[in-house]
Amino acid sequence: MPVTLNINGSVQSVNLPPDVPLLWALRDGLGMTGTKFGCGVAACGACTVMIDGEAVRSCQVALGDATGQITTIEGLGQPDNLAPIQAAWIKHQVAQCGYCQSGQIMQAAALLAANPAPSDQDIDDAMQGNLCRCGTYPRIRAAILEAADMMKAG
Amino acid sequence: MANWKKITRRSFMVLGAAVVGGAAFGVYKVTEVPPNPLIPTPGSVPLNPWVIINADGVTVIAPRAEMGQGISTTLAALVAEELDVDWAQVRVLHGPPAQAYFNAGFAERMSNEPDFKLASQPKSHNVVLEAVPKIFLLQITGGSTGAIGGYEQMRLAGASAREALKAAAAKRLGVTSDQLKTEGGRVIGARSFAYAELAEEAASLVPSDVQLRDPSIWRYIGKAMPRLDMAAKSTGTAQFGIDTWLPGMKFATVRMNPKRGGTMRSFDPKPALAVAGVERVIDLGTGIAVVANNTWSAMQGAALVAVDWGPADYPADTAAMLDTIAKAFADEPNSRLRDDGDVEVDLAKGDVIEAEYRIPFLAHAAMEPLNATAWLKPDGTLEVWCGNQAPIMTRDACAAAVGLGGDKVTLHTPMMGGGFGGRTDPVPAVLAARVAKEFVGTPVKLTYSREEDLAQDYYRPAAIARLTGRIEGGKATALWGRTAVPSAARNALGRLMGFAPPGPDRGSVEGGFDQPYGLPNYRYDGHLSDLTVPLGFWRSVGNSMNAFFLESFIDEMAHAAAADPLTFRLDLMRETHAPSAAVLQKVREMSGWDSLKRPGFGRGVAFCYSFGTPVAQVLEVEQTPDGIRMTRAWIACDPGLAMDPSIIEAQMTGAMVYGLSAAAQGAITFADQQVVESNFYDYEPLRLHQVPAFEVAILQNNGEFGHIGGVGEPGTPPAAPALANALFDLTGKRARDLPLRAAFDFVT
């Protein structure tokens, strides 16, 4: 029995058991590979998506429980239509390998939606669940501050 | 008989062009000019193995794989510089497995001389000649060689393509090439032509006179170029190996014997087959694969399979392994690559300082778990997608695993979600190919769980070092370092190439023997242990070990001499290698080293010359109520030629974070012959709130003789000793074992 999801404003149907995590429904069921698998135990943040505006680890949300409005990196913005946070990421040349960056960006977008002017401490608190093995953290911080400025300027 | 010494390194031939300014073609005639592996398609004309002209721009074929280090952008910039195209017209792809994409940069890694000595003299061309046969088949990304090998190769590729395009336009206009110029992807004369209009004709032309641009008119080299992969990586559209998605594909995972090298005696697949979505459990001899309609179900199933594993041939736990390693001290040293003066005579004068250091095994733990996709087609061909650092080797290993010739295998090398040396072994691709053989006609993606990725890695070896030194009148007179370690190179090359190179093992002593310290008596020995734990190349390889030993001990000697540790280093280096002294001097200035230290803070300095680049780091730590925090870091490096300062800055900071993660927290331990750590909660890298603020300076004093240093790895080795030395400064406690969390409480 297919499960129906609301992803990036459109209704999608996935033919997988309801206990399969949302991460794998996105990646394997729908071919939406922007959301990444890193650990499977909510220890790295690579799979972060937003559900009803809140950042969640999609490896921990069963497909059957994913009833809200899901936003993935694909829904945030595309290369020809960037969200401010993505424009800031590009401006600061944040990514190295880039694998964790979908999760970093979704986490940062959720932070800025809730707190348009985050302090360094706010950034520490919000971003510490997202690992980056390349060590892009200083540029992540700079890009978040830049995006906050861009959004304030409108 | 040609006078080989007169043949310069800049004489690589592209499309038969004789290169002006670099004498004649010569070095690579030792074998043959490799064939162009690229095939023209409508609207896409390859002018040589590295340059394809498209209707709307140029596609650069990068011979090195992108794993985050930015190499694809820098290689493309080298081509674009000579080809006169706008940056917006440039795309970059990784090339197929092919001889044309050998890594000339490895010639720099074939010597047992200290790098700083090689950088201080004109190139020894004989080294290159001897190395050519060895390097010719190495389409390998590693050793911080990518930009070094590409520096001339890619510029020549661009220049040669440019001249071919000009020759085509000259023919049409009835003029000579020197009457034409190029700009923004066009040849300009009495009429102007887009490159695409000329490409087909140009492909058959062999330019006779190819001259490289003078550095004074470079537009791209030396500039911070916007990375070509940045928009894709900021929008989730970058395609990593793990993102390979094909209609009708199946999803698999593996569980291989965690007692590495052991057999599988028996297994019961029934619990896995009971998991919804699981289709099959496949016997791989030393492990199993579980195939399902989604990866998660495959992983759930694999975890449930009851397996009786046969034993490995190494000791049961970490303590017993370290005992085995320590035994190597009793043997004659395998590698004594530095033996200045006479340490034994000097040390016999008495009053020596001695210290022993121990470091653990480490895993690569790239963010993208190991994976590969394979598709064995009914026509007997195999297509494989796998992020990898060695395409020819990976392709051939896949072919052998399923009983095909290499010509029947197409290997794609997508972007890697981190590598750090951990994607050299072809195992994931081979296992995917073997599983695909069970599903002819259906693509299968095989993804390791994080637990499996950590359990099946090829580790940075554990090691023990014993150092002895002597101070007289406040000056260091002797240093004798001895490192006992199982050889990563022998272990890995034995596995990958079927032979272990004889002779000295540079990797066991690099970072120790090759430093520009002008001690009158300086010896460094490597004692090779026969421990058989599977080992690999971990970012900066032996330098990650020996820099910790040597730079901790130099700090101890400075302390014993009652000297400032930075001045103590500078005094030993100033006469020996000026560019190295300059990076130390630079971090001294940047960090305000000579001004009064802030109360409650500690500072540590460390240096390492590795992969052709001297790097000095100062790290500041603070005691806070929540634990010790790393507050600020200063890095100065000198790659000789800074091709892209933004990428270099990113590599220097990232490499230091990688080293600090390991130094503070990283350890792979064994119990019952199996790795204990299983995921990021017990093998935990530093997180955003734990890393210091960085300031990076890039100097260019080390390029006097055309020397270029690497940038991907040299930022890692000084990190661990800089942290240990800062902690000593802060607390007065000298920690000689890694990771440092065993002795200090860090902010978590």
Map B464-499 to HEC letters. EEEEEEEEECCEEEEEEEEEEEECHHHHHHHHHHCC
Q: Which residue of A has its CA nearest to B693?
A: A138
Q: What is residue B601's DSSP assignment?
A: E
**pLDDT recorded at residue B316:** 98
Are B238 and A98 spatial neighbours (Cβ–Cβ below 8 Å)? yes
Contacting residues of A for B696, CB less than 8 Å apart: none
**pLDDT recorded at residue B8:** 27
Distance from A30 to chain B by nearest Cα, in Å? 10
Interface test with A, best of B69, B234, B680 (most A CBs within 10 A): B234
pLDDT at B546 over 70: yes
Contacting residues of A for B681, CB less than 8 Å apart: 41, 43
Contacting residues of A for B715, CB less than 8 Å apart: none
**pLDDT recorded at residue B719:** 98
- Listed residue (B547, B509, B502) closest to B525, CA to CA: B509
Distance from B149 to chain A by nearest Cα, in Å? 21
In angstroms, the CA A42 to CA A48 distance is: 9
In angstroms, the CA A54 to CA A110 distance is: 6
Put simply, the answer to whether B653 touches A74 (Cβ < 8 Å) is: no
The 10 Å CB-count burial string (b at 16+, else e) for B519-555 is: bebbbbbbbbbebbbbbbbbbbbbbbbbbbbbbbbbb
DSSP string, B137-197: T-----TT-HHHHHHHHHHHHHHHHHHHHHHHHHHHHTS-GGG-EEETTEEESSSEEEHHH
Q: Which residue of A has its CA nearest to B370?
A: A38
Put simply, the answer to whether A95 touches B296 (Cβ < 8 Å) is: no
pLDDT at B741 over 90: yes
Cβ count near B741 (within 10 Å): 18
Put simply, the answer to whether A128 touches B688 (Cβ < 8 Å) is: yes
Put simply, the answer to whether B236 touches A141 (Cβ < 8 Å) is: no
Are B249 and A96 spatial neighbours (Cβ–Cβ below 8 Å)? no
- B503 or B660: which leads in pLDDT: B660
Interface test with B, best of A134, A140, A144 (most B CBs within 10 A): A134
In angstroms, the CA A35 to CA A12 distance is: 16
Give tens-digit pLDDT for B76-97. 999 999 999 999 999 999 988 8
**pLDDT recorded at residue B110:** 72
Q: Which residues contact A80 (CB under 8 A, 6 or more apart)?
A: none
Which token pair is B72?
Answer: 């694809």
Give tens-digit pLDDT for A3-24. 999 999 999 999 999 999 999 9
What is the tally of helices (H) and strands (E) in chain B?
20, 27
Interface test with A, best of B300, B688, B713, B748 (most A CBs within 10 A): B688
- Put simply, whether A123 touches B (Cβ < 8 Å) is yes
Give tens-digit pLDDT for B294-304. 999 999 999 99
Are B12 and B153 spatial neighbours (Cβ–Cβ below 8 Å)? yes
CA atoms in the 13 A half-sphere facing the CB of B146: 29
Domains of chain B, earliest start first: 4-228 (3.30.365.10), 241-311+370-447 (3.30.365.10), 318-361+459-742 (3.30.365.10)
**pLDDT recorded at residue B137:** 60
In angstroms, the CA B149 to CA B113 distance is: 19
Put simply, the answer to whether A38 touches B369 (Cβ < 8 Å) is: yes
Q: Which residues contact B474 (CB under 8 A, 6 or more apart)?
A: B561, B562, B563
- The mean of the pLDDT values for chain B is 92
Mean pLDDT score, B721-733: 98
Cross-chain CB nearest to B691 (options A44, A72, A137): A137
Q: How far is CA B318 from the centre of its chain?
A: 27
**pLDDT recorded at residue B138:** 76
Which token pair is B186?
Answer: 């066009």
Contacting residues of A for B368, CB less than 8 Å apart: 36, 38, 97, 99
Helix or strand holding residue B659 (H, E): helix B645-665
Contacting residues of A for B444, CB less than 8 Å apart: none
Query: What is the amino acid identity at position B271?
Result: P
Give me the interface pTM, i.e. the ipTM: 0.98
Mode of pairing for the β-strands spanning B693-698 and B627-637:
parallel
What is the tally of helices (H) and strands (E) in chain A?
6, 5
Put simply, the answer to whether B417 touches A127 (Cβ < 8 Å) is: no
Selected residues 17-56 of chain A with any CB under 8 Å from a CB in chain B: 17, 19-21, 23-25, 27-29, 31, 33-41, 43-44, 46
**pLDDT recorded at residue B204:** 87
- Put simply, whether A136 touches B (Cβ < 8 Å) is yes
B174 burial type by CB count under 10 A (0-12 exposed, 13-18 middle, 19+ buried)? exposed
pLDDT at B435 over 50: yes
Query: What is the amino acid identity at position A119?
Result: S
Are B104 and B153 spatial neighbours (Cβ–Cβ below 8 Å)? yes
Which token pair is B418?
Answer: 């981190």
Cis status of the peptide bond prior to B639, with omega within 30 of 0: no
**pLDDT recorded at residue B102:** 82
Put simply, the answer to whether A90 touches B293 (Cβ < 8 Å) is: no
B121 burial type by CB count under 10 A (0-12 exposed, 13-18 middle, 19+ buried)? exposed
- Listed residue (B414, B394, B447) closest to B66, CA to CA: B414
Mean pLDDT score, B517-540: 97
Cross-chain CB nearest to A40 (options B238, B368, B450): B450
**pLDDT recorded at residue B15:** 30
Phi-psi category of A4—alpha, beta or left, where left has phi over 0 and alpha has psi -120 to 50?
Answer: beta
**pLDDT range class, residue B103, cuts 50, 70, 90:** confident
Put simply, the answer to whether A20 touches B67 (Cβ < 8 Å) is: no
- Listed residue (B368, B382, B383) closest to B448, CA to CA: B368
Interface test with A, best of B367, B682, B713 (most A CBs within 10 A): B367
- Put simply, whether A67 touches B (Cβ < 8 Å) is no
**pLDDT recorded at residue B84:** 96
Please, what is the end-to-end C-alpha distance for chain B in angstroms? 66
Contacting residues of A for B687, CB less than 8 Å apart: 127-131, 137
- Residues β-bridged to residue B695: B634
Contacting residues of A for B449, CB less than 8 Å apart: 40
Q: How far is CA B420 from the centre of its chain?
A: 6
- Put simply, whether A57 touches B (Cβ < 8 Å) is no
Are B536 and B457 spatial neighbours (Cβ–Cβ below 8 Å)? yes
pLDDT at A53 over 60: yes
Let me know the angle formed at the C-alpha of B177 by B171 and B183, rounded to the nearest 5 degrees: 105
Q: How many CB pairs under 8 A join A and B?
A: 204
Cross-chain CB nearest to A73 (options B235, B679, B681): B235
Q: Which residue of A has its CA nearest to B680?
A: A43
- Listed residue (B373, B396, B518, B533) closest to B457, CA to CA: B533
Are B18 and B209 spatial neighbours (Cβ–Cβ below 8 Å)? yes
Are B608 and B714 spatial neighbours (Cβ–Cβ below 8 Å)? yes
- Put simply, whether A145 touches B (Cβ < 8 Å) is no
Mean pLDDT score, B8-33: 30
Q: What is residue B220's DSSP assignment?
A: S
- Listed residue (B639, B719, B490) closest to B144, CA to CA: B639
Mean pLDDT score, B418-430: 96
Put simply, the answer to whether B680 touches A43 (Cβ < 8 Å) is: yes
Domains of chain A, earliest start first: 3-76 (3.10.20.30), 84-153 (1.10.150.120)
**pLDDT recorded at residue B112:** 85
Cβ count near B411 (within 10 Å): 26
Distance from A70 to chain B by nearest Cα, in Å? 15
Mean pLDDT score, B312-317: 98
CA atoms in the 13 A half-sphere facing the CB of B103: 25
pLDDT at B285 over 50: yes
- Listed residue (B307, B436, B420) closest to B362, CA to CA: B420
Are B341 and B478 spatial neighbours (Cβ–Cβ below 8 Å)? yes
Cross-chain CB nearest to B368 (options A23, A99, A138): A99
Cα radius of gyration rounded to whole Å, chain A: 15
Cross-chain CB nearest to A86 (options B235, B656, B681): B235
Let me know the angle formed at the C-alpha of B645 by B640 and B646, rounded to the nearest 5 degrees: 155
**pLDDT recorded at residue B700:** 97
Contacting residues of B for A34, CB less than 8 Å apart: 235-237
Q: What is residue B587's DSSP assignment?
A: H
- B185 or B205: which leads in pLDDT: B185
Are B708 and B641 spatial neighbours (Cβ–Cβ below 8 Å)? yes
Give tens-digit pLDDT for B141-170. 888 889 998 999 899 999 999 999 999 999
Q: Which residue of A has its CA nearest to B371?
A: A37
Helix or strand holding residue B296 (H, E): helix B295-304
- The mean of the pLDDT values for chain A is 97
Helix or strand holding residue B634 (H, E): strand B627-637
Q: Which residue of B has its CA nearest to A79?
A: B231
Residue labelled with tokens 């559209």: B237
Q: Which of B205-219, B369-383, B414-428 has the lowest mean pLDDT?
A: B205-219
Put simply, the answer to whether A98 touches B369 (Cβ < 8 Å) is: no
In angstroms, the CA B743 to CA B723 distance is: 13
pLDDT at B17 over 60: no
Q: Which residue of A has its CA nearest to B73?
A: A96
In angstroms, the CA A49 to CA A27 distance is: 12
**pLDDT range class, residue B140, cuts 50, 70, 90:** confident
Mode of pairing for the β-strands spanning A54-57 and A48-51:
antiparallel
Are B519 and B477 spatial neighbours (Cβ–Cβ below 8 Å)? yes
Alpha-carbon torsion angle B59, B64, B68, B73, nearest 10: -40
Let me know the angle formed at the C-alpha of B558 by B555 and B563, rounded to the nearest 5 degrees: 135
**pLDDT range class, residue B731, cuts 50, 70, 90:** very high
pLDDT at B527 over 50: yes
- Residues β-bridged to residue B428: none
Are A133 and B365 spatial neighbours (Cβ–Cβ below 8 Å)? yes
- Cα→Cα distances B401→B386, B398, B405, B598, B655, Å: 15, 5, 10, 61, 35
